[in-house]
Amino acid sequence: MKLSKTVAILLMGLLTAAGMAAPGFATVHGNGIIEVKSGSYELSFFPGCMFPFRLKTGGRNLPEPVWLDRIIGMDGKQYFLNIDRFAERKIVTSSDREFCVEMSGTYCLDDDVSIPGKVQALYRYKCKPDCIEVDVRISNPEGIQWKEVHVLMPGWKNNPWDRFAADDPSRTANKQGVLKGGQYVSAARGNTAITLYGDRVMGYTNPRNKYYSYLSAFRRGKWKDTVIEIKNLKIRLTANAK
């Protein structure tokens, strides 16, 4: 990716190595990794990456997702946000009640090809004691028309979950098919679960594990707005799922 981003990541690493720390329930380590620990969950942010990893609740690690957030062109090409390894990071607030960090990056076809039109995504993670609230802003300055956009979409290639469920109890996938919830969808194993709350939430799983099983907090079809803003998405990690 661009040299300027590489320099920014290196400088950030030097600052954290020099002893930069975040108060409250978040810690910035010398290698640039941010660890967030609340009473109900734990997660980490790796420098240069748009998404959290090492999700944990009730002392148990949740299956590690591959974040499938992406934009699909009218020609069918898919540009993924997790391929950008030089996302920029900004700590907005840090206290005993909330840790807020902004990640900004771009969608990529592969390591060398970025999305056309200077499309950028900004994710603001507000880590609170019981959940993570996420505001998203996607800028499309050239007004290019796109086929689809997917936001907050953790996926698992080999389905590690016992069950999928939506807020409507009658909508359960039981390891197969698509489900849509009016307010939330979740994937659970035993009593631990990851749940997404969003505008157009949905989940999918394939009984033969041929494709990714996934959850999604937001999906939009054909669009060419210069800005899309999605607020109040929510991730909840719980150790007492039913």
Using DSSP's 3-state secondary structure scheme, residue 209 falls into coil
Looking at residue 65, what DSSP letter applies? P
The mean per-residue pLDDT over the stretch 209-238 comes to 92
* Amino acid 206: pLDDT: 73
The mean per-residue pLDDT over the stretch 156-171 comes to 83
* Residue with the larger pLDDT of the pair 44 and 169: 44
Number of domains composing the chain: 1
Q: Is residue 185 part of a domain?
A: yes
Looking at residue 172, what DSSP letter applies? B
Provide the pLDDT confidence category of residue 13 given band limits of 50, 70 and 90. very low
Cβ atoms < 10 Å from Cβ of 130: 12
Q: Is residue 204 part of a domain?
A: yes
Q: Is residue 30 part of a domain?
A: no
The mean per-residue pLDDT over the stretch 207-220 comes to 84
The mean per-residue pLDDT over the stretch 158-173 comes to 80
* Amino acid 151: pLDDT: 97
Q: Is residue 224 part of a domain?
A: yes
